[in-house]
Structure 1
Amino acid sequence: MISTSEAFSILENLKYSKRVMELPLLEARSHVLAETVFSPINMPPFCQATMDGFAVCLHDSLQYEIVGEVKAGDFYTNELKPGQAVKIFTGAAVPDSAQAVIQIEKVTVDGSNLLLEEIIKPETNVRQLGAQIMKGAIALEEGTFLSPAAIGFLTGLGFTKVKVFQKPSIGIVVTGNELVSAGENLSSGKVYESNAIMLQTALFDANYNEVSLYKVNDDFENTKNALEKSINENDIVLVSGGISVGDYDFVGKALESLKVETLFYKVNQKPGKPLLVGKQNEKIIFALPGNPAASLTCFYVYVLPTLQRLSGISHKYGSDLKKNLAHDYAVDNPRSQFLKASIVDDSVTILSHQDSGMLNSFALANALVYVPDGNYQLLKGDKVSVYLI
């Protein structure tokens, strides 16, 4: 059995290649840029009015003559003389011969006569050419997560597609003779299977949508065949259950027969002690505990950071985020713990129902609190490590 820090170190040092693909911008959302992109244009590509008003060719008087109008999308080609102005609208191109825009609330209009309430300085209410970015400058660097704002920014520069890191495909293998699907009759000795939809939901929430599901009974050959199929068809395989040492836990033996290299098995933590992580070529297999809360804990702590690193996100294992504990808490456990918790403002409360088979408190949690093993007292206000979920 290894410590959590040893498990993190093994995963940190995993070697794998990231694949690159080119996608249209809408499909590239929630991916990570695999190239540094440079702006092909100045943005804005002209001097731009930042509000409705009048573009003026400055002179020494507050009185101006209105000689035209510029709507967004138009371009005023005539040259303004000192003392002349054109009505202009937000986003429209400011004539080259105008030096400023006076907002419409600060003028009086009488026919073609314009009277300003105050002296206006050059460049007032004018967004200069290239104010956002100049042609040839770096728009976004490799490794940037493509959020809606990033997609909008690239589209505004004229991009239609970009190179991104391909996200891994994921297989979920669910084992257990005791499991039945929700909606079916729950006979004696059976429980409803929830891990598959729970893990699928967690993956979808993290923007991993290429997910395949494999269900298998507790039988060695069936387990081996399902694992072999899932490993062949996916980049990452999550196995739910069957990894302990019971007579009907066949996952470990099946992985061994498939020549899967065990990177580690069993971590000194609670919940999630019987976690196995293996590797076959560049395929990574996470055999998660069958208890739902343990399975989901291992997903957030170990699986999700691995998926993010494969997708081009520079994500580390472990958490540097600290929050103030909202209450005293006594620690008395030989294993490190990941405790379901709720963060409100800058403080965190450890919830009840911490059993590895219970999801009711997990449903109310927005964080996990990491508590190192030992026998000691945490006091209200102490800083504790937290994982946001």
Structure 2
Amino acid sequence: MIQVAEALNIIAENSSKMPIAKIKVSKSLGYVLAEAIYSPINMPPFRQSAMDGYAFTHGELTQFEVVNIAQAGDFLDDEIKKNQAVRIFTGAFVPDDTDTVVMQEHTSVKDNLLEIEKMPEAFANVRAKGEQIKKGELVFDVNTVITPAAIGFLACLGITKIKVFEKPKVAILVTGNELVAAGNKLPKGKIYESNSLMLEAALKTIGINKPTVFKVKDSLKKTISTVEKCITNFDVVLISGGISVGDYDYVKEALLENGVTELFYKINQKPGKPLFFGRKENKIVFALPGNPASSLTCFYVYAFPALKKLMGFEAIHLPKMKRKINVDFKNTSGKTLFLKALYEDEKVTVLESQSSAMLNTFSIANGFVVVPHDVTAIKANEEVVVLPFN
């Protein structure tokens, strides 16, 4: 059994970035850039009006003859004299012979004669060529996560394809004779299976939207064959249940039978002690505890950073913050504790129902309070480490 820090180091050392693929910008949401991108054009590519109004040459005049109209998409190369103006709309090309745009609200027009009632400063309301970004400038560096705004920015620069790290193919394998799918009648002695839905939802938070779910009864032969299928066809395998030491816990044996190298088994923590991490070639396996709260805790603390590293993220772990705890707390277990909690701006409240089987408080928690294995007591209002996950 190892400590939390050692487990995290082993996972980081054995999680490599996925291969690089070139994909359409329109399909790139949530991916991580594998190469830096530089702008192929100036943006805007021409001087652009920031307002609906009138383009003119700034000076002493306040009256101008309106000689033309410039809509977005138009290009006017007619000569505009100093006593002339052009009706212009937001986003339109600002004619070369003008330098300022006055808002239409600050003007009056009669018989094509423009009167500026509130004179703007010179060059006002004109977006300079390359104001947003100049040709050849860095758009996004490597390891940038593609967001909706990033997709919009790339598209406005005319970029259609980018190189990204592929997202791993993930299998979720759920074991147990006691499990029944929600929506069915619940026989005595059975429970509804929730871990696959829970893990699917957790994966979506980091952009992995289509994991494949397998379910297997407590049979060594079936577990071995299903594990083989998962390892053959997927980059990451998340197994829920069957990893403890009971007579019908076959997962570890099935993993070893399939040539998975055990990198660690069991961590000195609560909840989630019986966690297995292994590797076969470039495939990695997490065998998570079956108890729901333990399973999700281990996903956030261990599987989450491994998946993010594979996807090319730079910051892979849950962020750390400090908050003042609301109660006195004793740790007599000698284990690192991950306590479900609700944090606010300054304080954090440790929730009740910390059992590894209970999701009721987990469902309203937004972070873990971490109590190290060598800390035996914490006093109320003492600062503690909080790992936010929502």
Same fold, judged at TM 0.5 (above):
yes
Q: Give 3-state SS (helix, strand or coil) of 1:364's partner.
A: coil
Deviation at 1:22, TM superposition (A): 1.6
Matched AA of 1:331: K
Taking the aligned partners of 1:340 and 1:28, their CA distance within structure 2 comes to 34
Contact 1:108–1:115 (Cα < 8 Å) also in 2:
yes
What residue is the counterpart of 2:291 in the other structure?
Answer: 291
Aligned to 1:36: 36
The aligned runs of 1:154-169 (5 Å cut-off) are 154-169=154-169
Instruction: After superposition, give the CA deviation of every residue in 1:294-353 in whole Å (9 maximum; x if it has no partner).
Output: 00011111111111110111134364323343x123122321111111233443222111
1:38-77 equivalence runs, <5 A: 38-77=38-77
Task: State the shift of 1:226 in Å.
Answer: 0.9
Q: How does 1:321-360 map to 2 (within 5 A)?
A: 321-325=321-325, 327-332=326-331, 333-360=333-360
Match of 2:122 in 1: 122
CA distance in 2, matches of 1:61, 1:54: 14
- Comparing 262-271 and 199-208, the one that deviates more: 199-208
Percent identity of the aligned residues? Answer: 45
Instruction: Please give the alpha-carbon distance, in whole angstroms, between the structure 1 residues aligned to 2:153 and 2:347.
Output: 36
**1:66-105 matches, cutoff 5 A:** 66-105=66-105
CA contact (8 A) 1:324 1:381 kept: yes
Aligned 8 A contact 1:12 1:317 in 2: no
CA shift digits 1:204-233 (9 cap, x unpaired): 233202311111111211111111111111
Q: What 5-or-longer segments of structure 1 have no aligned partner?
A: none
Asked whether the equivalents of residues 175 and 215 of structure 2 are also in contact (C-alpha less than 8 Å), the reply is: yes
Worse-matched range after superposition: 100-109 or 226-235 = 100-109
- Structure 2 residue matching 1:362: 3-state secondary structure: coil
Q: Who is 1:257 aligned against?
A: 257
Q: Name the CA distance, whole Å, in 2 between partners of 1:151 and 1:316.
A: 22
Per the alignment, residue 150 of structure 1 pairs with 150
| 1:365 Cα deviation from its structure 2 partner | 1.4
- Distance change (3 Å), C-alpha of 1:48 and 1:297: same
Structure 1 residues 94-122: Cα deviation after superposition (integer angstroms, max 9, x where no partner): 11110111111212222222222344332
AA aligned to 1:205 is T
Once superposed, which parts of structure 1, at least 4 consecutive aligned residues long, lie more than 6 Å away?
none
Deviation at 1:15, TM superposition (A): 5.0
Structure 1 residues 234 and 9: CA distance shift in structure 2, 3 A: same
- Equivalent residues in 2 for 1:368-383 (5 A)? 368-373=368-373, 374-380=375-381, 382-383=383-384
Say if 1:319 and 1:63 are closer, same or farther in 2 by CA, change over 3 A. closer
The root-mean-square deviation of aligned C-alpha atoms, in Å, is 1.6
Residue 355 of structure 1: CA displacement? Answer: 0.3
- Partners of 2:32 and 2:312 within 8 A in 1: yes
Q: Secondary structure at the match of 1:349?
A: strand
- Which letter maps to 1:382? E
Do the aligned residues in 2 keep the contact of 1:8 with 1:318 (CA within 8 Å)?
no
Contact 2:15 2:309 in 1 (8 A): no
| 268-277 vs 20-29, greater mean Cα deviation | 20-29
SS in 2 for 1:322: strand
1:271 corresponds in structure 2 to 271
Q: State TM-score, norm by structure 1.
A: 0.95
Match of residue 231 from structure 2:
231
The runs of 5 or more residues in structure 2 that have no matched partner are none
Work out the CA distance in 2 between the residues paired with 1:292 and 1:245.
17
